[in-house]
Amino acid sequence: MGLAVVRSMGTARSMRTVTDLEDLEQELVDQYCLAMAGAGTTDRHIAGERGMLFEFVRFLGRPLWTATPEDADAFMVSLRQNKQAKATVQSKAGALTRFFEFVIARYQGDVQAIAGVVVVQPIDEFNRPAKASGFGAPRVPPSNDEIDVLFNAWRAALPGMRKYLPAARDYMAASLWRRIGLRINETAMLDLRDWRPDLGEHGKLHIRYGKGSRGRGPKTRLVPGINSVDTLMDWWLGDVRHQFGDDWEDLDAPLLPSERRDPDTGRCGRVGTNALRVGMADSVNRWLPTWSGRLTPHGMRHFCASSMYAHGVGLKAIQELLGHEWLSTTTGYIHVHADHIEHAWEQASDRIATRLDSKGD
């Protein structure tokens, strides 16, 4: 996206006209956009943030740097009165938070010298919206026993299915979500070359389309083939993948192909994320009906994180496995059994008792 030439903010100047005020406001927004561009944020994300800022400007009716928490209160109330989604309200509040953090950190002194106003953060601990992820389908995953019931029945039914290949593919994708917590788009974008059995003890998957934070494009990572993923890959590549077509030796071919052919090459196309969602939903409806409409591919990421944590895997390792930028995000994926705290307390008490006994000896 194109940005206007930005003038230096380093020299204080008096605000003589309405145009001067508008120019200063435009400078602050453009400097913020340039900073995002410098951080590698995509044009689309920058345009979205910019649009949200100017929506607030129109609501405020005066310069941005004069905004107060009370103004933010009124703005978010108006968004809810207009029945905007909770996630949308949260997104707009986040955009305001980031912009004012930027202005306060870089230009608070300049704005005070130029406009005579001390900039404050209008989104504070009292009006900051709660995360919208708590709404909609529950994210607390099924138990280990329930997941075992689902996948054991699914695997046993594969040989007799009328459309064996897509059923096996959907099972393979869901198994990756279950065992190493891949995102659905990360899964669909895997190519045959992305499986590297030569790396590490269990082999590794090269995730080339990991989710980037704040529109900064895909983040890559290597995910080890732990939790029986290496055995799963041996089954998929040895028994199933070649049945889709003769591209199974082409390393640039999709790991999880579609039944449809590419009209230009005649070779297997790439499976779409919607097909994988439908495949899992149908299987849940059939073999775990108590979770129909509730267990999603993203819910399987929560199951994977919770299962790993229950087996003693540290939070930092789970963070790297899931591809989270922040450890705080990972903690939101951990759902432990009700007796987990009691067990941790008993183990800690046993360790203390052991140390005391050893000192007594």
SS3 track for 125-165: CCCCCCCHHHCCCCCCCCCHHHHHHHHHHHHHHHHHCCCHH
In a domain, 358, yes or no: no
In a domain, 348, yes or no: no
In a domain, 354, yes or no: no
Are both 246 and 174 inside the same structural domain? Answer: yes
In a domain, 357, yes or no: no
- Are 107 and 63 spatial neighbours (Cβ–Cβ below 8 Å)? no
In a domain, 109, yes or no: yes
Domain assignment of residue 100, given as a range: 18-134
Are both 185 and 274 inside the same structural domain? Answer: yes
pTM of the model: 0.65
Q: Does the pLDDT value for residue 199 go beyond 70? A: yes
Q: How confident is the model at residue 340 (pLDDT cuts 50, 70, 90)?
A: low
Are both 114 and 179 inside the same structural domain? Answer: no
CA gap 166, 271 in Å, rounded: 9
Among 166, 218, 161, smallest CA distance to 189 is for 218
Overall number of domains in the chain? 2
Q: Which residue, chain included where needed, has tokens 């992820």? A: 133
Q: How confident is the model at residue 169 (pLDDT cuts 50, 70, 90)?
A: very high
Task: Give the pLDDT mean for 190-202.
Answer: 95
Distance of CA 36 to the CA centre of its chain: 19
Q: Does the pLDDT value for residue 348 go beyond 90? A: no
Among 89, 120, 112, 98, smallest CA distance to 41 is for 98
- Tell me the two tokens of residue 209: 């389309």
Are both 226 and 102 inside the same structural domain? Answer: no
Q: Which of 173-187, 215-229, 339-353 has the lowest mean pLDDT?
A: 339-353
Task: Give the pLDDT mean for 13-38.
Answer: 80
Average confidence score pLDDT of the chain: 86
CA gap 284, 341 in Å, rounded: 30
Q: How confident is the model at residue 134 (pLDDT cuts 50, 70, 90)?
A: very low
Q: Does the pLDDT value for residue 178 go beyond 80? A: yes
